Structure 1
Amino acid sequence: MGKYELIATAAMGLEAIVAKEIKDLGYEGVTENSRVTFTGDEMAIARTNLWLRTADRVKIKVGEFKAFSFDELFEKTKALPWEHFLTEDSEFPVSGKSVKSKLYSVSDCQAIVKKAIVERLKKAYGRTTRFEENGPLVKIEVSILKDVAILTIDTSGAGLHKRGYRAGQGEAPLKETLAASLVLLTNWSAEKPFIDPFCGSGTIPIEAALIGQNIAPGFNREFVSEQWGWIPDRVWEEARMEAEDVAKYDQPLDILGSDIDHRMIKIAEGNAFEAGLGELVSFKQMQVRDLTSDKQYGVIIANPPYGERLGDRPAVESMYREMGKAFESLDTWSKYILTAHEGFEKFYGKPATKKRKLFNGFIKTDYYQYWGPRPPRN
C-alpha cells in the first residue's frame, strides 16, 4: 500500500474536533485553518471517509509548490505523478480558487493545470490523441493562497455531511457535520438521557444516536474513490466490515427530540427511520416551556431560532426566557445552546459556564455551555 498526504477539510471552528477524530482512528494530524493534514494509506482513505463525523471532505494532496507565473504552474503540475491516480479513461474536471496571489485568474489556472496533467498522462500512457474521459470521476482542485499552489484530489464525492438519511428537512437545516460536533462537544455518553427541544428535521438526535451506538456515519453511502482501480475493492470491504464489527447495535439509548411544529416531527421520524434508528429515537410535538423530566444527569442540546430578522426578535427573546425557566427544574442536567443572538444569556437568565465560537453555515454563532453537576459514583 502507498502512503499519501491526506487533508480532512472542516468548517471554521471545528478543526480541533476533526483532529481528535483522526487521532482516534490512529492517524496523527496537523491542524491548520479549516483543515487537518495527516498521512495514511488506501485503508486510511476508506476509514476516514466512513468514520469522520465532523469533517467536510477527505482529499489527497498531490503536490504543493510556489507558483509566480503560468509557466511555473504548468511545469510543476506536469512534474507530479498523475498517472498514479488517473487512468487513460478517467474523467478529471479541475476546479480552482486563488487568494492574494499573482496568478489571480482562476479560469486560467484551471486550464493550465488541466493542460499540464494531459501532457503528463500522454507521456505516461504513450498517447498522442486526446483522452475521452468517460471513466471514473476524479475531481482535481488547484488552490492558490499567497502564491503557494496546492493540488488535491477529492476522495469523498458528495460532502461527508450527506449521510444518506435526510429524506426531508425544514427551512434552515443544520448540517449533519455541525450537529455531530455539537454532540461531541458535550459530556453526553450513551447511558445518559438526551433531549433536543428544537429538533426540526431530527438531525441532532439522529447524530447523537449514531454516536451512541458507534455507527460509522458513512456506512450507508458511497464515495467517489470506491470507483478508482488503484484502491482495491477489498480495502473498502475490510473498512466496512470493521465498522460493522465495532457498531454497538444493542446499546440502549434514551434520546428525545421535540419541536413546536407537528410537520417537523413527521419529517424527523421519517429521517430517523431512513437512518435505521426509527425504534431508538423518540420525537414529540411540544413547546420548550412545557419541557420536564424526572430523569437525572441528562444532556440538552438546543439549536433554537436566532431571531435574525428584527421582527422575530421579541418572540425569540420571550422564548429564551421560557427556556431558562423550564430548564431551571432540570438542575442536574447539562445544557448546550447554539445561537447567533448576542444577548442570549440576558434573556435566558444565567451566564454560561463556557462559550465556544462556531459557524452555522455563514452565520457566526456561540455555543453556550451550562455544565451540570457530576453524577455521584456508585
Structure 2
Amino acid sequence: MDYNLIATTTFGLEGITAKELKTLGYDDVKTETSKVFFSGDEMDIAIANIHLRTADRILIKMAEFEARSFEELFQGTKKVNWGKIIPINGKMHVIGKSIKSTLHSVPDCQSIVKKAIITSMSEVYGGSEFKEDGPVYKIEVAILKDKVTLTIDTSGSGLHKRGYRENSGAAPLKETLAAAMVLLSRWQESYELIDPFCGSGTILVEAAMIMQNIAPGIMRDFVCETWPSMPDYIFKQVREGAKRAEKNKEIKLIGYDNDTWVLRTAQNNAYKAGVSDYIEFQHRDFREFSHRKKNGFIITNPPYGERLSEKSEVEKLYKIFGDYKNKYENWEFNILTSYEGFEKPFGRKSTKNRKFYNGKLKCYYYQYMDNKEIKGQGDTVIQEMIRNS
C-alpha cells in the first residue's frame, strides 16, 4: 500500500533530513518547518525508521482538510478509511495540538476525532464498540490556522532513542542533533575527531556510526512492527540489508572528560553501539588539550553557563577554547552552545552558524572551517553517506 509519509524533525534539521532521504533514493521530497514529506509503502516506512539519523518520527498522513467547527472536524475525520490500517482490536490513542485555530480546545478535538474514527471503523467492521486490546495506533490531530492534519505514528518511541544510551547528564544532547552536527561538519575518515567535552559520548558514538555506516535504528523496535498490515519479513529484510552495508574503516575518535563516572557511561554507550574499537576516552580536562597533528576536527557541545553565577567561568572557558583555535589554525572547530554572544569570548567570528533546538533550549552551531585542504567540499560526511549507500 502506498502512503503519504512525514518525517518530523527538530526545528532547523529539515534540510538535513531531506538530504538523508534523497541519499536513500527518494526524489519527491518537500520540506516545511519541522517536517519533511515523501511517499512510499511498508518497505519505505521500515527504511526510513531504521536509516534516518536526524528525523524524530515517521508518520503516515491520513488526511488534510479545513475545519472551523466540530461538525466539520467530525465529518472530515469520518471520511477517512481508518479500517484499512487499524484492525478491529487496535488500541487508538488520540493526541492533539491546535495553533491559531478556531477549534482551540485540544481535549474536545481529541474527543471528536476519536468518535469519528470509531464511526468510520464501525462501517468497516460493524458494531459501535471496540475492545482496543490489540496493537497501538497513536493518532494525532494537528490544527494550524484551521487546517487539520491527521496522522498515525509508525515509530513509537522517538527515533533519537537508538538503544545504546541508558544514562546521560542533566541536559543530554539528543542523538538526532548530535548526528546533524557531524553531518554538517566536513569531517573525513583521514582526520582525527576530538570532543573535549564528551560527556556520555553521544557526538563521538554518532560520528563513528555514521562513518561505519551503522544504521541508527538497527538495534531497536518500532510500533508499526506490531501492526497486522506490516508483513514480518519487511523489517527483517531492511535490517539484514543495513547489516551488510556496514563498514570497518580505520578511524580515530577521542573524547575527554574529567568525570570518571561519565567516562564509564560513555564507554558503555560506545560498546552497546558497536563502535568502542574506534573511540578512545581519556580522563582529561579540556584545559590540557594538545596535539601534534597540523589538521584535525573538533565537534563538541561545551558547558553553556545557564546560571548567572556561571557566566564568567564559561566566558573564561570559551576564551581558552578560542586560544586553542588560534594555536591550531587548520583544525576545524564545530561548537554547539546556547550561550548568547559566544563569538565574543571565543575571539573570532564563525564561518557559519545555524540555529537549532536541543529539546526546548535554543542553541547555535558555530562552525570554523579553516582547513584549506578541504575548503569548498561542504557536506563531506553526507557525500560519504551517498558513496556508502
Q: Is the structural similarity TM-score above 0.5?
A: yes
Structure 1 pair 376–211 and aligned structure 2 pair: CA distance change class (3 A)? closer
Deviations 1:87-130 (A, max 9, x none): 011111111111111111111111111111111111101x2251
Report the CA distance between 1:133 and its aligned residue: 0.5
Q: Following superposition, which runs of at least 4 residues in structure 1 exceed 4 angstroms of deviation?
A: none
| 2: CA distance, partners of 1:343 / 1:85 | 50
Partner in structure 2 of residue 290 of structure 1: 288
Aligned positions of 1:1-378 closer than 5 A: 2-27=1-26, 28-125=28-125, 127-248=126-247, 250-375=248-373
Q: What's the secondary structure of 2:335's corresponding residue?
A: strand
Report the CA distance between 1:329 and its aligned residue: 2.8
| 1: CA distance, partners of 2:339 / 2:166 | 30
Q: Kindly indicate whether the alpha-carbon contact (under 8 Å) linking 1:292 and 1:330 is maintained by their aligned counterparts in 2.
A: no
Name the stretch that deviates more: 94-103 or 288-297.
288-297
Q: Kindly indicate whether the alpha-carbon contact (under 8 Å) linking 2:90 and 2:133 is maintained by their aligned counterparts in 1.
A: yes
Deviations 1:154-209 (A, max 9, x none): 00000000000012111211000010011111001233210011111110000000
Q: Kindly indicate whether the alpha-carbon contact (under 8 Å) linking 1:82 and 1:121 is maintained by their aligned counterparts in 2.
A: yes
Q: What's the secondary structure of 1:226's corresponding residue?
A: helix
Q: Kindly indicate whether the alpha-carbon contact (under 8 Å) linking 2:209 and 2:215 is maintained by their aligned counterparts in 1.
A: yes
| 2: CA distance, partners of 1:286 / 1:327 | 19
| 2: CA distance, partners of 1:368 / 1:54 | 19
Name the stretch that deviates more: 181-190 or 257-266.
257-266
| 2: CA distance, partners of 1:197 / 1:266 | 16
| 1: CA distance, partners of 2:60 / 2:266 | 35
Q: What's the TM-score once normalised by structure 2's chain length?
A: 0.93
Structure 1 pair 246–178 and aligned structure 2 pair: CA distance change class (3 A)? same
What amino acid does structure 2 have at the position aligned with 1:305? P
Q: Kindly indicate whether the alpha-carbon contact (under 8 Å) linking 1:67 and 1:73 is maintained by their aligned counterparts in 2.
A: yes
What amino acid does structure 1 have at the position aligned with 2:140? E
Deviations 1:247-270 (A, max 9, x none): 11x212101111122221111111
Alignment coverage as a number of residue pairs: 374
Q: What's the secondary structure of 1:124's corresponding residue?
A: helix
What amino acid does structure 1 have at the position aligned with 2:250? P
| 2: CA distance, partners of 1:222 / 1:33 | 27
Q: What's the TM-score once normalised by structure 1's chain length?
A: 0.96
Report the CA distance between 1:326 and its aligned residue: 2.5
Report the CA distance between 1:352 and its aligned residue: 1.1
Report the CA distance between 1:41 and its aligned residue: 1.2
| 2: CA distance, partners of 1:320 / 1:310 | 16
Deviations 1:199-247 (A, max 9, x none): 1111000000000101100000000011111121111112111111111
Q: Kindly indicate whether the alpha-carbon contact (under 8 Å) linking 1:289 and 1:326 is maintained by their aligned counterparts in 2.
A: no
Structure 1 pair 145–129 and aligned structure 2 pair: CA distance change class (3 A)? closer
Q: What's the secondary structure of 1:164's corresponding residue?
A: coil
Partner in structure 1 of residue 379 of structure 2: none
Report the CA distance between 1:313 and its aligned residue: 0.7
Report the CA distance between 1:357 and its aligned residue: 1.4
What amino acid does structure 1 have at the position aligned with 2:196? P
| 1: CA distance, partners of 2:119 / 2:280 | 57
Q: Kindly indicate whether the alpha-carbon contact (under 8 Å) linking 1:94 and 1:142 is maintained by their aligned counterparts in 2.
A: yes
Q: Kindly indicate whether the alpha-carbon contact (under 8 Å) linking 2:352 and 2:366 is maintained by their aligned counterparts in 1.
A: yes
Name the stretch that deviates more: 309-318 or 287-296.
287-296
Q: Which structure would you say has the larger RCO, counting Cα contacts within 8 Å and 6 or more residues apart?
A: 2
Q: What's the secondary structure of 1:241's corresponding residue?
A: helix
What amino acid does structure 2 have at the position aligned with 1:78? K
| 2: CA distance, partners of 1:353 / 1:167 | 35
Report the CA distance between 1:142 and its aligned residue: 0.5
Q: Kindly indicate whether the alpha-carbon contact (under 8 Å) linking 1:297 and 1:375 is maintained by their aligned counterparts in 2.
A: no
Report the CA distance between 1:372 and its aligned residue: 2.2
Report the CA distance between 1:295 and its aligned residue: 2.6
Report the CA distance between 1:343 and its aligned residue: 2.5
| 1: CA distance, partners of 2:74 / 2:86 | 18
Deviations 1:124-147 (A, max 9, x none): 01x225100111111101001111
Report the CA distance between 1:331 and its aligned residue: 2.3
| 1: CA distance, partners of 2:291 / 2:326 | 11
What amino acid does structure 1 have at the position aligned with 2:353? K
| 1: CA distance, partners of 2:332 / 2:364 | 16
5+ residue gaps, structure 1: none
Report the CA distance between 1:43 and its aligned residue: 0.9
Report the CA distance between 1:376 and its aligned residue: 8.0
| 2: CA distance, partners of 1:245 / 1:213 | 11
| 1: CA distance, partners of 2:238 / 2:191 | 29
